[in-house]
Protein backbone atom coordinates (compact mmCIF):
# COMPACT_ATOMS: atom_id res chain seq x y z
CA UNK A 1 0.00 0.00 0.00
CA UNK A 2 1.47 3.34 -1.07
CA UNK A 3 2.19 5.90 1.62
CA UNK A 4 2.11 9.57 0.77
CA UNK A 5 3.98 11.93 3.00
CA UNK A 6 3.44 15.68 2.89
CA UNK A 7 6.58 17.69 3.39
CA UNK A 8 5.72 20.80 5.42
CA UNK A 9 8.13 23.67 4.95
CA UNK A 10 6.22 26.63 6.38
CA UNK A 11 3.36 27.74 8.66
CA UNK A 12 4.84 25.97 11.64
CA UNK A 13 4.16 26.96 15.21
CA UNK A 14 6.79 26.06 17.79
CA UNK A 15 5.49 26.11 21.35
CA UNK A 16 6.06 24.45 24.67
CA UNK A 17 4.21 21.25 25.55
CA UNK A 18 3.76 22.40 29.13
CA UNK A 19 0.18 23.64 28.77
CA UNK A 20 -0.82 20.63 26.64
CA UNK A 21 0.18 18.30 29.46
CA UNK A 22 -1.36 20.43 32.20
CA UNK A 23 -4.23 18.33 33.54
CA UNK A 24 -5.71 21.29 35.41
CA UNK A 25 -6.63 23.06 32.15
CA UNK A 26 -9.76 22.27 30.15
CA UNK A 27 -9.41 21.16 26.55
CA UNK A 28 -11.04 24.40 25.36
CA UNK A 29 -8.52 26.55 27.25
CA UNK A 30 -5.60 24.49 25.91
CA UNK A 31 -6.86 25.06 22.36
CA UNK A 32 -7.33 28.80 22.87
CA UNK A 33 -3.86 29.17 24.38
CA UNK A 34 -2.34 27.23 21.47
CA UNK A 35 -4.16 29.51 19.04
CA UNK A 36 -2.90 32.66 20.76
CA UNK A 37 0.67 31.31 20.82
CA UNK A 38 0.44 30.73 17.07
CA UNK A 39 -0.53 34.35 16.34
CA UNK A 40 2.07 37.04 15.57
CA UNK A 41 3.50 38.92 18.52
CA UNK A 42 2.05 42.24 17.30
CA UNK A 43 -1.45 40.80 16.95
CA UNK A 44 -4.15 42.75 18.78
CA UNK A 45 -5.37 40.36 21.47
CA UNK A 46 -8.94 41.36 22.26
CA UNK A 47 -12.00 39.29 23.05
CA UNK A 48 -13.73 40.63 19.99
CA UNK A 49 -10.73 39.99 17.77
CA UNK A 50 -10.53 36.40 18.98
CA UNK A 51 -14.25 35.91 18.41
CA UNK A 52 -13.80 36.78 14.73
CA UNK A 53 -11.30 33.98 14.13
CA UNK A 54 -13.01 31.47 16.43
CA UNK A 55 -16.32 29.67 16.26
CA UNK A 56 -16.96 30.31 19.96
CA UNK A 57 -18.77 33.43 21.11
CA UNK A 58 -17.61 36.15 23.48
CA UNK A 59 -18.93 34.43 26.60
CA UNK A 60 -17.12 31.18 25.81
CA UNK A 61 -13.87 32.99 25.04
CA UNK A 62 -14.17 35.13 28.18
CA UNK A 63 -14.55 31.94 30.27
CA UNK A 64 -11.40 30.41 28.78
CA UNK A 65 -9.47 33.68 29.23
CA UNK A 66 -10.47 33.75 32.91
CA UNK A 67 -9.35 30.13 33.32
CA UNK A 68 -5.98 30.82 31.70
CA UNK A 69 -5.53 33.96 33.79
CA UNK A 70 -6.33 32.06 36.98
CA UNK A 71 -3.85 29.32 36.04
CA UNK A 72 -1.08 31.89 35.41
CA UNK A 73 -0.78 31.47 31.63
CA UNK A 74 -2.10 34.94 30.86
CA UNK A 75 -1.72 38.38 32.41
CA UNK A 76 -3.67 41.45 31.39
CA UNK A 77 -3.20 45.11 32.21
CA UNK A 78 -5.58 47.97 31.49
CA UNK A 79 -3.95 50.80 29.55
CA UNK A 80 -4.76 54.48 29.98
CA UNK A 81 -4.53 57.36 27.57
CA UNK A 82 -3.05 60.78 28.27
CA UNK A 83 -6.22 61.85 30.10
CA UNK A 84 -6.03 58.90 32.48
CA UNK A 85 -9.00 57.14 30.90
CA UNK A 86 -9.05 53.36 30.50
CA UNK A 87 -8.64 52.40 26.86
CA UNK A 88 -7.31 49.01 25.72
CA UNK A 89 -6.25 45.88 27.54
CA UNK A 90 -2.69 44.61 27.16
CA UNK A 91 -2.35 40.83 27.23
CA UNK A 92 0.85 38.98 28.15
CA UNK A 93 0.73 35.31 27.14
CA UNK A 94 3.04 32.81 28.80
CA UNK A 95 3.94 29.31 27.64
CA UNK A 96 4.48 28.33 31.26
CA UNK A 97 2.89 29.94 34.35
CA UNK A 98 5.12 32.15 36.43
CA UNK A 99 4.13 30.40 39.63
CA UNK A 100 5.44 27.08 38.30
CA UNK A 101 8.74 28.73 37.29
CA UNK A 102 9.11 30.33 40.70
CA UNK A 103 8.34 27.06 42.42
CA UNK A 104 11.00 25.29 40.35
CA UNK A 105 13.64 27.84 41.39
CA UNK A 106 12.77 27.78 45.06
CA UNK A 107 14.73 25.39 47.30
CA UNK A 108 12.77 22.59 48.86
CA UNK A 109 12.77 22.28 52.62
CA UNK A 110 12.36 18.95 54.36
CA UNK A 111 9.75 18.81 57.04
CA UNK A 112 11.43 17.80 60.31
CA UNK A 113 9.70 14.97 62.20
CA UNK A 114 7.73 16.14 65.17
CA UNK A 115 7.54 14.05 68.31
CA UNK A 116 4.10 13.54 69.77
CA UNK A 117 4.24 14.59 73.41
CA UNK A 118 2.53 12.36 75.94
CA UNK A 119 0.08 14.27 78.07
CA UNK A 120 -1.00 12.97 81.43
CA UNK A 121 -4.71 12.89 81.95
CA UNK A 122 -5.47 14.96 85.03
CA UNK A 123 -7.89 13.63 87.61
CA UNK A 124 -10.92 15.82 87.84
CA UNK A 125 -12.52 16.15 91.23
CA UNK A 126 -16.22 16.62 91.79
CA UNK A 127 -16.83 20.08 93.21
CA UNK A 128 -19.35 20.48 95.97
CA UNK A 129 -22.02 23.00 95.01
CA UNK A 130 -23.94 24.80 97.68
CA UNK A 131 -27.59 25.57 97.13
CA UNK A 132 -27.75 29.25 96.15
CA UNK A 133 -30.33 31.48 97.59
CA UNK A 134 -33.50 31.01 95.52
CA UNK A 135 -34.81 34.06 93.77
CA UNK A 136 -38.32 35.21 94.47
CA UNK A 137 -40.33 34.25 91.41
CA UNK A 138 -43.75 35.14 92.84
CA UNK A 139 -45.64 37.69 90.79
CA UNK A 140 -47.55 40.35 92.65
CA UNK A 141 -51.31 40.41 92.37
CA UNK A 142 -51.27 43.70 90.49
CA UNK A 143 -48.89 42.26 87.88
CA UNK A 144 -51.17 39.24 87.45
CA UNK A 145 -54.17 41.50 86.98
CA UNK A 146 -52.37 43.55 84.34
CA UNK A 147 -51.31 40.39 82.52
CA UNK A 148 -54.84 39.02 82.53
CA UNK A 149 -56.24 42.29 81.22
CA UNK A 150 -53.70 42.51 78.39
CA UNK A 151 -54.44 38.94 77.30
CA UNK A 152 -58.10 39.79 76.71
CA UNK A 153 -57.17 42.54 74.21
CA UNK A 154 -56.92 40.89 70.78
CA UNK A 155 -55.73 44.01 68.95
CA UNK A 156 -51.99 44.66 68.41
CA UNK A 157 -50.70 47.30 70.85
CA UNK A 158 -49.45 50.51 69.22
CA UNK A 159 -45.92 49.98 70.56
CA UNK A 160 -45.72 46.52 68.98
CA UNK A 161 -47.27 47.76 65.75
CA UNK A 162 -44.64 50.51 65.57
CA UNK A 163 -41.87 48.01 66.28
CA UNK A 164 -43.01 45.70 63.47
CA UNK A 165 -43.20 48.63 61.08
CA UNK A 166 -39.67 49.65 62.04
CA UNK A 167 -38.43 46.11 61.43
CA UNK A 168 -39.91 46.15 57.91
CA UNK A 169 -38.13 49.41 57.16
CA UNK A 170 -34.83 48.08 58.47
CA UNK A 171 -35.19 44.88 56.45
CA UNK A 172 -35.79 46.88 53.28
CA UNK A 173 -32.78 49.11 53.97
CA UNK A 174 -30.62 46.02 54.50
CA UNK A 175 -31.91 44.54 51.23
CA UNK A 176 -31.11 47.75 49.31
CA UNK A 177 -27.59 47.91 50.75
CA UNK A 178 -27.02 44.24 49.88
CA UNK A 179 -28.06 44.86 46.27
CA UNK A 180 -25.79 47.93 46.12
CA UNK A 181 -22.80 45.84 47.25
CA UNK A 182 -23.59 43.19 44.61
CA UNK A 183 -23.86 45.81 41.86
CA UNK A 184 -20.59 47.48 42.93
CA UNK A 185 -18.80 44.13 42.78
CA UNK A 186 -20.31 43.03 39.46
CA UNK A 187 -19.50 46.33 37.72
CA UNK A 188 -16.00 46.88 39.16
CA UNK A 189 -17.44 50.11 40.50
CA UNK A 190 -14.25 51.71 41.81
CA UNK A 191 -12.33 51.00 38.60
CA UNK A 192 -15.04 52.52 36.40
CA UNK A 193 -15.35 55.54 38.73
CA UNK A 194 -11.73 56.40 38.03
CA UNK A 195 -12.44 56.37 34.30
CA UNK A 196 -15.95 57.81 34.01
CA UNK A 197 -16.49 59.65 37.28
CA UNK A 198 -18.42 58.90 40.45
CA UNK A 199 -21.56 60.85 39.50
CA UNK A 200 -21.98 59.03 36.21
CA UNK A 201 -21.49 55.63 37.82
CA UNK A 202 -23.82 56.39 40.75
CA UNK A 203 -26.55 57.29 38.27
CA UNK A 204 -26.30 53.78 36.80
CA UNK A 205 -25.88 52.01 40.16
CA UNK A 206 -28.82 53.70 41.90
CA UNK A 207 -31.15 52.94 38.99
CA UNK A 208 -30.12 49.27 39.06
CA UNK A 209 -30.56 49.08 42.85
CA UNK A 210 -34.00 50.68 42.58
CA UNK A 211 -35.15 48.03 40.10
CA UNK A 212 -33.49 45.12 41.95
CA UNK A 213 -35.21 46.07 45.23
CA UNK A 214 -38.58 46.68 43.57
CA UNK A 215 -41.52 44.57 44.77
CA UNK A 216 -43.78 45.29 41.80
CA UNK A 217 -44.84 42.26 39.73
CA UNK A 218 -44.16 44.02 36.39
CA UNK A 219 -41.73 46.68 35.23
CA UNK A 220 -42.33 48.85 32.16
CA UNK A 221 -39.40 49.13 29.76
CA UNK A 222 -39.64 50.99 26.44
CA UNK A 223 -43.44 50.77 26.47
CA UNK A 224 -43.62 47.04 27.27
CA UNK A 225 -44.17 45.39 30.63
CA UNK A 226 -41.82 42.60 31.70
CA UNK A 227 -41.92 40.32 34.75
CA UNK A 228 -39.80 41.81 37.52
CA UNK A 229 -37.91 38.53 37.99
CA UNK A 230 -36.81 38.61 34.33
CA UNK A 231 -35.62 42.21 34.59
CA UNK A 232 -33.68 41.52 37.81
CA UNK A 233 -32.03 38.45 36.28
CA UNK A 234 -30.94 40.48 33.23
CA UNK A 235 -29.51 43.31 35.38
CA UNK A 236 -27.54 40.92 37.60
CA UNK A 237 -25.74 39.64 34.49
CA UNK A 238 -24.20 43.05 33.78
CA UNK A 239 -20.47 43.56 34.31
CA UNK A 240 -17.95 46.31 33.64
CA UNK A 241 -17.75 45.48 29.91
CA UNK A 242 -21.49 46.16 29.52
CA UNK A 243 -21.18 49.53 31.24
CA UNK A 244 -18.18 50.46 29.05
CA UNK A 245 -20.29 49.51 26.03
CA UNK A 246 -23.23 51.64 27.22
CA UNK A 247 -21.05 54.68 27.88
CA UNK A 248 -19.54 54.33 24.40
CA UNK A 249 -23.03 54.22 22.87
CA UNK A 250 -24.17 57.18 25.00
CA UNK A 251 -21.20 59.27 23.89
CA UNK A 252 -21.96 58.55 20.22
CA UNK A 253 -25.67 59.33 20.55
CA UNK A 254 -26.70 62.67 19.03
CA UNK A 255 -30.48 62.27 19.48
CA UNK A 256 -32.19 64.25 22.23
CA UNK A 257 -33.41 61.96 25.02
CA UNK A 258 -36.55 63.18 26.79
CA UNK A 259 -37.00 60.39 29.35
CA UNK A 260 -33.42 59.82 30.49
CA UNK A 261 -34.40 57.34 33.23
CA UNK A 262 -36.41 55.21 30.82
CA UNK A 263 -33.61 55.41 28.27
CA UNK A 264 -31.01 54.26 30.81
CA UNK A 265 -33.20 51.38 32.02
CA UNK A 266 -33.89 50.18 28.48
CA UNK A 267 -30.19 50.37 27.64
CA UNK A 268 -29.22 48.37 30.74
CA UNK A 269 -31.92 45.78 30.09
CA UNK A 270 -30.86 45.26 26.46
CA UNK A 271 -27.08 45.46 26.96
CA UNK A 272 -26.45 41.68 27.41
CA UNK A 273 -28.19 40.87 24.09
CA UNK A 274 -26.91 43.77 21.98
CA UNK A 275 -23.26 44.21 22.99
CA UNK A 276 -21.97 41.17 21.08
CA UNK A 277 -23.60 42.25 17.79
CA UNK A 278 -22.42 45.83 18.26
CA UNK A 279 -18.75 44.92 18.62
CA UNK A 280 -18.92 42.34 15.83
CA UNK A 281 -20.15 45.10 13.55
CA UNK A 282 -17.29 47.32 14.74
CA UNK A 283 -14.73 44.57 14.04
CA UNK A 284 -16.17 43.90 10.59
CA UNK A 285 -16.06 47.60 9.82
CA UNK A 286 -12.39 47.77 10.82
CA UNK A 287 -11.53 44.67 8.83
CA UNK A 288 -13.37 45.46 5.64
CA UNK A 289 -13.24 49.24 5.69
CA UNK A 290 -17.00 49.76 5.81
CA UNK A 291 -17.69 47.67 2.71
CA UNK A 292 -21.02 45.88 2.60
CA UNK A 293 -20.67 42.12 2.99
Are 201 and 242 spatial neighbours (Cβ–Cβ below 8 Å)? no
Q: Which residues of the chain have pLDDT under 50?
A: 1, 132-154, 292-293
pLDDT given for residue 7 in this prediction: 56
**For residues 180 and 203, what is the distance between their CA atoms, to the nearest angstrom?**
12
The segment(s) of the chain belonging to CATH 1.10.10.10 are: 19-102
- The confidence score (pLDDT) of residue 74 equals 83
Are the beta carbons of 187 and 238 closer than 8 angstroms?
A: yes
The pLDDT of residue 120:
62
Query: What pLDDT is stored for residue 133 in this prediction?
Result: 45
Note whether 279 and 248 are within 8 A (CB): no
Please state which CATH number belongs to domain 19-102: 1.10.10.10
- CB-CB contact of 222 with 266 (8 Å): yes
Strand partners, 86: 80
Strands 86-93 and 74-80: antiparallel
Q: Give 16-43 pLDDT, tens digit per residue.
A: 889 889 989 999 989 988 888 888 777 7
DSSP labels, 120-142 = P-PPPP-PPPP-PPPP--PPPHH
Label residue 197 left, alpha or beta by phi (over 0 means left) and psi (-120 to 50 means alpha): left
Distances (CA, A) of 166 to 125, 156, 160: 52, 15, 10
Taking the C-alpha atoms of residue 138 and residue 149, their distance in angstroms, rounded to an integer, is 18
Distance in angstroms (rounded) separating the CA atoms of residues 272 and 104: 43
Check residue 134 and give its pLDDT. Answer: 46
Report which of 42, 104, 92, 38 is spatially closest to residue 68, judged by C-alpha positions.
92
Amino acid sequence: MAVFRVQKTRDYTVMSNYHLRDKTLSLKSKGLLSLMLSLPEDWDYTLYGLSVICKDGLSSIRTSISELEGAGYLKRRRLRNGKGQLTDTEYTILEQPENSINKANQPTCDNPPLDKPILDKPVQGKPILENPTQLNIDISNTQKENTDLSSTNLSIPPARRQQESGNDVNDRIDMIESYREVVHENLDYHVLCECHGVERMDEIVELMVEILSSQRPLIRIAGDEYPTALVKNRLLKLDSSHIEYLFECFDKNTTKVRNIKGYLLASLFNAPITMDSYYRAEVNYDLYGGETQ
